[in-house]
Structure 1
Amino acid sequence: MAVGEYPQLSRNVALINGSSNGTLNMNNGGTNSTILDIEVKRKGWKSFWGLCNDDICKKIKWTARTATNNGSNKTTEMWTASALYNVLFWVPLGKKNYYTNAAWGNSAQDNAPGGLMGDIFSDNMETQGTFLAKELIFLLSGDKPTFNININNFTLMPSYSAADLRFPNKNLYMKWDDQYLCGKTPFDYVYAPSTNQDHAYVSEDGSQWFENELRCNSNNLPTYINPIMSGSSSICTSGQYSIVSCLPVSNVTWSALPTGIISFSGTGSQVTVTRVNSGSVTISASVISCNNTYIQTVSKSITVGTAKPGPINWEWNAPPNRVMLDVDDVPGATSYKWYLNGTLKATTTSSYYHLPMSGNVSCGNFYYFGVRAVSSCGTSPESYIGAEMPPCGFAYNVSPNPGSDNIKIESLYDVD
């Protein structure tokens, strides 16, 4: 891609090799068919000079079959009559069978729609793989095995699994289209070919789909849109907010929580947000897509005007004869104005202030402490709290009294 053509939006998409129309991989013989058979026959009288073909006349027989799509079937059948093979393949002497149940919805994974073991995999297995296995067995035992292999178009990754579909009634053979994807997969979209392809193979169509995503080519993208909200994180009086996606949208519902802080004007994918009061608010936009069957909601938290600080925390701190005041930080605030009974006492850049007692407050009296936040949008309303100072006449309790050694002194008043 050329400079300046990098994607501005992001979507989670999957490019799979299995079809979405239910096409099965049948070239491996279908269900319950042999895909691998290995035999090592006994020699001489042990095999009745080659006339016996039962398992008892063989040192080893391994058979692997595709699964059934109904009930269960024997997918692996083993027979060993050689201690060497028992140790080599970690199997017990005699016969051992493995059974496999049909997958969801009476569907077998081995020939389900999906990325398949195509020519590259099967050719390598039938040539290099078979050759190496035969040589290994021959070197260990001096016996030459016979191999029958039929793994061409064996399903490696079912489409259902590759797309991470999540339906209550699972079925590996199911057909699905764009509409089915809405809310049924963690991906924003899944690109699937019309016919099953080799696993891990990138086709020309797949490459084109991927390029369309990168270029945000709306003429070739599906209707599933994955919107994002564009707009400032703060406004003083008003601002524009819009839904941005590769495809245009019009069916959008706007809302805000808490209510009473902003108002909306306009409809569709772009609205004007106007300040009603100051504070923090979350704007949400619900976008209906997928042929009006799926709702996607995107949200953005913003600061409107200069939020009112608070609540105020205070503490009588004697000594060193001060009242400590503080509030939580206000988003966007650059300074704070502190008040005593409505009179400005100080301006700080931090959200706390230590008010000297001298000339300001005295014990036993009632006062109002207030604070306003200042930002680029102006000064907030005042937040205040009424507080009664501790009494002046401190009284103490001494125990034990009288005492001849150590004594304990406690104030009779709670000091905040």
Structure 2
Amino acid sequence: MTQGNHSDILIMGAGPAGLSLALALARHGLSVRVIDRITPDTLADTAFDGRASALASTSWQMLQNLGLADSLWRDACPIDRIAVSDGLRKGSLDFDAGVDGMGVMLPNSLLRSALYQAARDDADIDLVMAADIAHRSVDAHRATVILADGREFTASLTVGAEGRASPTRDLAGIGLSQWSYRQRGIVTAVTMERGHQNTAFEIFYPDGPLAILPLNDDDEGRPMASIVWTVPEGKADAWTSLSDRAFGAALTEASGGFLGQITPVAPRSSWPLTLCQASDMVAPRIALVGDSAHIIHPIAGQGLNLGLRDVAALADVLGEGARLGLDPGDLAQLQRYQQWRMLDNTMMASATDVLNRLYGLPGKAPSLVRRIGMQLVGRTGLIRRFIIDEARGTSGDLPELLMASD
């Protein structure tokens, strides 16, 4: 339980990374306070807004270990297979994890609400919502946050989980390497005439990939999917301003019609696509997780999963430190977290960047090279296994929170 205005950990940001970290740290007996401008009503709202996330197998395991999976399972759609194609040309590269599955698709609103309710009910977590911050500071002994209403909170460690525009990262003086893809991601949800068979489809075009990701059937039994369509910046406004009928027709054409007629059933949203990488993930009494530390292209749907792997690793490090009686803000243990996570984050950023650039090359010659490469991958068991393990999040040194309990 937090002692007055002081806590062990101060988490800035109540998104999935911030709230899951709070729950993970509370399991280790650490006192946690979460501060965000968002309102409790927004966090608790379960209305579907068209946005959904692909949770890798290990991310879903993390929700199971946090005690949330049972309440979410009914609304989670398993991803059993991934099918990759170069436009509408014949031949696709299929990845099938067998009985283990690749992961699940889950509406963002349900994930957010479940995390919020679990954090709200945890005695070791204090949620300070609808809060405007007037001042932040860090010294050798503590991190301090003063709200606009005069309340002052301190902690041994502050964690930046605010997203790409992270004031905590700026407070630490951590640099950010970034560039724009000059693309936008358009997101919505659709119904289809034909079922998706729990398959995630990734269709690559020179302008950008079209991802059709499986969701559970709607209340009328119609197959549903989440759409993430990457388009050039200059064409984004035209695509988002289309009527639902015209946008559905464009999706049907871009998918080659193999799912039948596609009909949008949710609002469309879009965001600029950038690659961002913080130069460090830690500083004295400061750590970064999720989008505050890195943002990658959505081409592989791994952004949220990378953030949850940050959370699991930081929880492991701080939990072990707590058992040894270490100060949560001890820089030596924070650097262990950074060493654990930096390579994975950098490799995933590089892989998604290369994929986007490779499939963005127009013309017959690049297409031929891509198809030959896809055939080689399809015939090489070790490469296929590596890609499947990366998609499931099971490669590398896994934190305890991502592994099945004995």
Q: Quick check: which one's helix share is greater? A: 2
Asked if these proteins are the same fold (TM beyond 0.5), I'd say no
TM-score, with normalisation over the residues of structure 2? 0.21
* Greater strand content: 1
Name the larger-Rg structure: 1
